[in-house]
Structure 1
Amino acid sequence: MLRIVLPLALLLTLCVYALPQDRIIALPTSPRRIQIAAEKTIPVFQDGQSQLEIVLPEVANRTLRFAAAELQEYFRRSCQVELPVVNAPEDGKVSIILGDNQWSRQAGLDCTVLPRDGYYLKSVGRRIYIAGVDDDKGNPAEAFGWAVFFERGTLNGVYEFLERFLGIRFYFPGEIGTVVPKHQQLSLPQMDIYDRPDFPRRRFGPAPIDRQAWFPEQEYHHRLQGRMNLNLRTESFYVPCCHSMERLKIIERFAEQHPDILAMDEHGKRHTQPGSVYYGNLCYTSPTLRDELFLDAVSHLSGEPAQNRGLRGWDPSAIQPGFFNIMPKDHFRTCYCPRCREFYQKHPESELVWDLVANIAGRLRQAGVPGYVTAMGYGHYPNPPQTVSLPDNVL
């Protein structure tokens, strides 16, 4: 799959983004800038007295307010000081100014050019700017499950600041996995940092901590795992690629009237037994299947509600704004209908899934429908296609 995805992503970094989702999948290529002075000239905390304040715009979204609260929490635990949150920088204070605002722009920080999830940490005199792109709809306090996918560049910068300058470490969820060094005094160097991820897709698979006897906060495990995604600056979006042919309820919607969409076994019988693990396998050469799948893709990528296609909703594991997944279910079973047998005479059997992907993506391209079809090498088709050409709207 990498040989398919990466060339397109690299190309996107060299051009103006044609679609909103292009910024999501583009590989960042701009060089990092990490300049930190050797001498610590910004007095922060000495003799029990703090010079710090946190500056938020008067109208700040939930991500910025959460970022401010995280700074307060970890300065409280690390330095035993309470940081005030104010709406404008005060002369004589050391001001940590959060977000894309009038002060950060006056300091020359342009968040519009940041790659997704990138951020700035920049000091000018006694002002420290931490700024990135933050989604107004995001809510870090409730960020677990699907709610973790929102842009939060400033919050990423705050965690970078805490790790780099206070020595905070987030090794795994909960208090037992968090290291907070104690500081009796603290000064900071002048800094000019622009940083961003190496890859747009970044995630971790947490163990089921709710079933670990040693874990003291089991009742909060979902929130703690979500919080860990924030701490580790994991991906802020999800490109769907997960068994869409099952999640689109193809069988439930169409099999009764169009049994030819079901795969056929070696004896000429369709897989119609709901109790069988092979139930739900489809015939990928079925014209009905291809037409209905194309109409699903057009509907979703055009922004229509799933109800227009007889669904209660677009399953987020397979369908996301700008992306439409085509992938068979687990327990794949070869179809032996005459059409599929004819295909196998001309192509390796593994090419059949790619042929379906190419067919739908090509029709979308020809119809001028914006967006991408996602596909993944899996099971008996793990490699890029050899005899089928994929259009450039396939990821």
Structure 2
Amino acid sequence: MLKIVFPAALLLSLCVYALPQDRIIALPTSPRRIQIAAEKTIPVLRDGQSQLEIVLPAGANRVLQFAAAELQEYFRRSCQVELPVVNAPNDSKVSIILGDNQWSRQAGLDCTVLPRDGYYLKSVGRRIYIAGVDDDKGNPAEAFGWSVLFERGTLNGVYEFLERFLGIRFYFPGEIGTVVPKHQQLNLPQMDIYDRPDFPRRRYGAAPINHQAWFPEQEYHHRLSGRMNLNLRTESFYVPCCHSMERLKIVERFADKYPDILAMDEHGKRHTQPGSVYYGNLCYTSPSLRDELFRDAVSHLSGEPAQNRGLRGWDPSAIQPGFFNIMPKDHFRTCYCPRCREFYQKHPESELVWDLVANIAGRLRQAGVPGYVTAMGYGHYPNPPQTVSLPDNVLIMISVRGPWAENIPAARAEGDQRIKIWT
């Protein structure tokens, strides 16, 4: 299990945010509203004949277009009907009106107050509104890998509608994992639903496996996995926290200019052998390293392209809009240079990583640069620092063993205790 620990400044009430990314990471606090009438009074399908239409305002973005296509697809499979898509509601029809628009606002739906990934499902007479915040740049049809990270509140609401009222289930990718009940008759109740995630971070992953009875080879594809992220309403953003000191190509960019950024072994030699697993270990007391890392952080958090810093791009595992990760590479090796030895005389060795994090985050705070530094309690530095104070623009991820420790009492207790001392 991985857990993000937020500083007290982030425990914010709904819609009061100091930074744009605060809306992303704040835990939703507004109560759900799920009111569904007992009687089903909205006629949808009678003897195979549909009363429905989908209303998609002119100029609708790709998220809304995809949401309409999903409604059409699953009504086709479940009810054997073709739903028309129109630009305005017809009072003689039952209209499913998608997105934040003039009609949804007239019905009292305010999408500006929704937490990240929240949505409304509300009926008024023969109109059913499904609305959330949708990113104009998002493209669900091409959503896989990093491209699933965009707001799609209306699409989340569509999948909720399909599950709740048509009985559709998305268990895992492919036809076998998708359950689509058949309907010849279908009426819907009046509804007033406001729903949102319990947690901002919600992920799904499926690795290639050999169980072809469940994942036929032709079905296992990264696009199917991406589609599953949409079906399951997973997170629409990513807080990066993954070995940035390697992903930022620090050695490749700066080692020739600043040899002292490389960690020194016990014999006074720098780790300069590219074939060694220890290559890329850095000296965290190096002023040159800290200055260049600070410049990287300022550049990214100010919205500059990575090319300004000699990179082809900002690695999404470590760098995301509003977030800059500071985390050593795996195969960590202690640096024994004179500066680091002096530090170890005054602090535990694990504090050196936190000292680096605090230095960069503090300089960003002092310079007025918006955004957050992310770091992980991991490896030989899993616990909170004892001699270093972390600024409030730092977000900490705690690394524990997760499901592999559930049946090992000592390991689980160790992880639980680590979370407890951080929180």
Deviations 1:237-280 (A, max 9, x none): 11111111011111011111211111111111111111110000
**What is the CA-CA distance between 1:220 and the residue it aligns to?**
5.5
Distance 1:87 1:4, change over 3 A: closer
Name which of structure 1's ranges 346-355 and 10-19 shifts more when overlaid on structure 2.
10-19
Deviations 1:181-207 (A, max 9, x none): 111211111100000001111102212
Could you tell me whether the CA contact under 8 Å between 2:9 and 2:392 is conserved in 1? no
**What is the CA-CA distance between 1:101 and the residue it aligns to?**
0.3
2:11 counterpart SS class: helix
Please report the RMSD computed on the Cα atoms of aligned residues, expressed in angstroms.
1.7
Could you tell me whether the CA contact under 8 Å between 2:240 and 2:324 is conserved in 1? yes
Distance 1:211 1:316, change over 3 A: farther
Could you tell me whether the CA contact under 8 Å between 1:351 and 1:387 is conserved in 2? yes
Deviations 1:132-167 (A, max 9, x none): 000010000000011111100000000000000000
Could you tell me whether the CA contact under 8 Å between 2:253 and 2:310 is conserved in 1? yes
**What is the CA-CA distance between 1:88 and the residue it aligns to?**
0.6
**What is the CA-CA distance between 1:3 and the residue it aligns to?**
8.6
Could you tell me whether the CA contact under 8 Å between 2:7 and 2:392 is conserved in 1? no
| Alignment TM-score, normalising by the size of structure 1 | 0.96
1:66 counterpart SS class: helix
**What is the CA-CA distance between 1:59 and the residue it aligns to?**
1.1
Partner of 1:315: 315
1:128 counterpart SS class: strand
1:12 counterpart SS class: coil
Q: Distance in 1 between matches of 2:209 and 2:142?
A: 19
2:393 counterpart SS class: coil
Could you tell me whether the CA contact under 8 Å between 1:209 and 1:218 is conserved in 2? no
Gaps of 5+ in 1: none
Could you tell me whether the CA contact under 8 Å between 1:78 and 1:180 is conserved in 2? yes
Q: Distance in 2 between matches of 1:312 and 1:378?
A: 28
**What is the CA-CA distance between 1:319 and the residue it aligns to?**
1.1
**What is the CA-CA distance between 1:8 and the residue it aligns to?**
3.7
Could you tell me whether the CA contact under 8 Å between 2:14 and 2:30 is conserved in 1? no
**What is the CA-CA distance between 1:212 and the residue it aligns to?**
4.2
**What is the CA-CA distance between 1:235 and the residue it aligns to?**
0.3
Q: Distance in 1 between matches of 2:246 and 2:295?
A: 16
Could you tell me whether the CA contact under 8 Å between 2:43 and 2:188 is conserved in 1? yes
1:193 counterpart SS class: strand
Could you tell me whether the CA contact under 8 Å between 2:14 and 2:113 is conserved in 1? no
| Alignment TM-score, normalising by the size of structure 2 | 0.90
Could you tell me whether the CA contact under 8 Å between 2:15 and 2:113 is conserved in 1? no
Number of aligned residue pairs = 395
Distance 1:131 1:210, change over 3 A: farther
Name which of structure 1's ranges 136-145 and 3-12 shifts more when overlaid on structure 2.
3-12
Distance 1:210 1:9, change over 3 A: farther
Q: Distance in 1 between matches of 2:238 and 2:303?
A: 17
Could you tell me whether the CA contact under 8 Å between 2:114 and 2:132 is conserved in 1? yes
Residue identity over aligned pairs, in percent, reads: 93
Could you tell me whether the CA contact under 8 Å between 2:208 and 2:220 is conserved in 1? no
**What is the CA-CA distance between 1:209 and the residue it aligns to?**
4.7
Q: Distance in 2 between matches of 1:361 and 1:348?
A: 20
Q: Distance in 2 between matches of 1:10 and 1:32?
A: 21
Partner of 2:167: 167
Q: Distance in 2 between matches of 1:308 and 1:6?
A: 31
**What is the CA-CA distance between 1:10 and the residue it aligns to?**
4.7
Distance 1:68 1:24, change over 3 A: same
Gaps of 5+ in 2: 396-423
Distance 1:173 1:2, change over 3 A: closer
